[in-house]
Structure 1
Amino acid sequence: MLINGIDTDLIVMAIWGVIFAIFVLKLFQSICLVPTKSAYIVERLGKYHSTLDAGFHALIPFLDKVAYIHDLKEETIDVPPQECFSSDEVNVEVDGVIYISVTDPVKASYGITDYRYAAIQLAQTTTRSVIGTLDLDRTFEERDVISAKVVEVLDEAGSMWGIRVHRYEIKNITPPETVKNAMEMQVNAERERRALLAKSEGDKQSKINRSEGVMAETINRSEGEMQRRINEAEGKAQEILTLAKATAESIERLAVVISSEGGQSALRMQLGEQYMKQLDGLSKPDSRIVLPGNLVNFEYWMQSIGLKDDKK
């Protein structure tokens, strides 16, 4: 049919062709493949209908649509640097990182507009409040306390947002340049003080060790000298005892020999031999013999030593 030179059948066929193409496109779009560790929030006619887990799903064209897509894997969110005041009125700049994951896709979709932005803001405010109760020196030491407090607050709010905060880590705490220079000077002074203290302790210990060594050496020498003298005295005493014992034994044996038969004659003979040996030594040209002035006394002396028999 021609109307004003236009074929209306062709127009109708074109319209139906467009409608069919749109229907086919929507039919393909209704096929939904959800990857692992993901969740799709489906709305039907603008109202929440279901949550699609990993796998193949088919939606009703023109009625169902995927309104929100959530990644269920743990993700990191950087917390931008912010200025905080410590309890001693020092301005420091703090930044960090949050590790969170979605546990309830429905609450994460409808419980809050943007849970990532909300977590960042809550982490910043909590960090400011915690640092405000600490001194500057303690802010560097109490990072675990700050992180634990932020995680506690975020977990409490995250239960309503469908998220879980695993941990919060402070990356940097940056004080002003003037405070940083003062802290560096303080650290250097403390390091020098420790070095001087360690050196003095080392010198003190060295002197103590040296004096103890000298004392030990002196004691050892004195003990050695004492032991040497004791050993010498004991040796001399043992020598005297041995000589005395030998002399006593020789005297006892000599007394036994003299008291036996013929003992006195043998003694006189031995003494005579010794006397003759001495006289023989005096017979040399340079020798001198001294005789007593009174020969009677000389004969008496010979009788006393047994060289002459007074009976003859």
Structure 2
Amino acid sequence: MESFLSPSLIISLIVVVIGIFIIAKGLVIVRQSEVMVIERLGSFNRILESGVNIIIPFIERPRPISMLRYVRMGEDYHPVMSDETRIDRRETVMDFPGQPVVTTDNVTVKINGALYYQIIDPRRAVYEVANMSQAVEVLAKTTLRSVVGKMELDKLFESRSEVNNAIQAEMEEAASKWGVKLTRVEVQDISMPEEVEEAMRLQMAAERKRRATVTEAEGEKSAAIAKAQGQRESAILNAQGDKESAILRAQGEQESIKLVLNAIGDSEDNKQTVIGYLLGQSYIKVLPNMAKDGERVFVPYESSALLGSMGMFRELAGSPEETVRQHLQRDGLRGGLVGSAGNS
């Protein structure tokens, strides 16, 4: 028994145990999308990538990184700080609770935001800032107050995308120094005081009523314009009809005069007689309308001469009546003008 537990064997066992312990402590397996920052005797040495890696125990050790996360407990979020030796290089979301912000029109709103970031340089994330996640959160809150503080409340609701882009642009330079890449920033929820919400509801109702009134006025305006255009087109068509009718009447009278003159001769005396006859007819047509406007009718002095001319025309038309009738029959107008002259 004493020979079996010789000092040399005990030493060998001790060495083997120490070797196994050293190998176990020095063998590090890093998972995919994770890295480890290794320090040797307190200074940066290297970064372990995913896979199987070996470090020297007690001489080399991983440098932890402080991470701040929010855990929901009931209706509130509570911050939890932890030190992690494995740095996750995947995109991470930080949903920080609502922050009070004052707009330019002195309205205090509570904004809840979400920040998406990714660690691209683990060495800077560990050595350039004491607490990377907390620094990113504080930077996001201060930038949010700065950007929203330059806007009015109505503009804030209308342009959330502009707010997100402005926050991301202002944070990129500072975050890049810490080895962090900001992928996007989202304004999730905007809460307002109850009196502000009530005022906005009243404003929206008034705006809808105004739009309805404007729409109704525009409809009435369009209807009035259409009606006026219709009346205008109708008046134009009536005027054109009256014009064409007057032209046709004048042409008919002119042709009648030509036929009469062809029948009785176109001497100067006959022309004067025909003209006097036509003027007399016009006076006779106007006299009933003149009598409607008053109890007395004043007959101009010249009307007696015109009536006398009509009598002369009738006497003249009585002697050559057969000749006129023949001319009218030749032109296809049997009993036309001469018959009407006799009836006059």
Do the aligned partners of residues 239 and 120 (structure 1) sit closer, same or farther apart at CA in structure 2, a change above 3 Å counting?
A: farther
Are the counterparts in 1 of residues 30 and 49 from structure 2 also a CA contact under 8 Å? Answer: no
Q: Which amino acid aligns with 1:218?
A: A
Q: Which amino acid aligns with 1:202?
A: G
Structure-2 residue corresponding to 1:162: 179
How many angstroms apart in 2 are the aligned matches of 1:226 and 1:97?
Answer: 80
Match of 2:242 among 199, 205, 225: 225
Q: Deviations over 1:142-188 (max 9, x none)?
A: 54554344223322321321112233222222211221011011111
Residue matched to 1:19: 18
The match for 1:46 is: 42
C-alpha distance after superposition, 1:77-126 (max 9, x if no partner): 22321112223332211112223222322101111233222111111122
> What SS does the aligned partner of 2:130 have?
coil
- In structure 1, what is the equivalent of residue 146 of structure 2? 129
Moved over 6 A (4+): 7-14
2:54 equivalent in structure 1: 59
Change (3 A) 1:145 1:117: same
**Matching residue's letter, 2:55:** I
Question: In structure 2, what residue type is equivalent to 1:121?
Answer: V
* Equivalent in 98, 108, 117 of residue 91 of structure 1: 108
TM-score norm. by structure 2 comes to 0.59
Aligned in 2, Cα 1:53/1:229: closer, same or farther, shift over 3 Å? Answer: farther
TM-score normalised to the size of structure 1? Answer: 0.65
Distance 2:177 2:56 in 1: 32
Instruction: Provide the rounded CA distance (Å) in 1 between the counterparts of 2:161 and 2:55.
Output: 51
Count of aligned pairs between the two proteins: 244
What is the CA–CA distance in structure 1 between the aligned matches of 2:135 and 2:264, rounded to whole Å? 118
Relative distance call for 1:106 and 1:225 in structure 2 (3 A) is same
What CA RMSD, in Å, does the superposition of the two structures yield over aligned residues? 3.5
- How far does residue 129 in structure 1 lie from its aligned partner after superposition? 3.0
The structural deviation recorded for 1:59 is: 2.1
Give the one of 60, 65, 87 matched to 1:70: 87
The gaps in structure 1 that reach 5 residues or longer are 250-270, 272-312
The aligned residue for residue 200 of structure 1 is 217
CA distance in 1, matches of 2:194, 2:252: 84
2:236 counterpart SS class: helix
SS in 2 for 1:98: strand
Q: Residues 222 and 25 from structure 1, CA distance in 2 versus in 1: closer, same or farther, beyond 3 angstroms?
A: same
Measured after TM superposition, the shift of residue 206 of structure 1 is 1.0
Match of 1:258 in 2: none
Residue type of the alignment partner of 2:53:
A
The alignment-based identity, stated in percent, is 30
Contact 2:100/2:108 (<8 A) preserved: yes
- Secondary structure at 1:95's aligned position in 2? strand
Supply the AA of the counterpart residue of 1:58. N
Tell me the equivalent position of 2:123.
106
Aligned partners of 1:52 and 1:12: how far apart in 2?
Answer: 34
- What displacement does 1:219 show? 1.8
Q: Is the 8 A contact 1:59 1:65 kept in 2?
A: no
CA distance in 1, matches of 2:133, 2:256: 105
Q: Is the 8 A contact 1:77 1:97 kept in 2?
A: yes
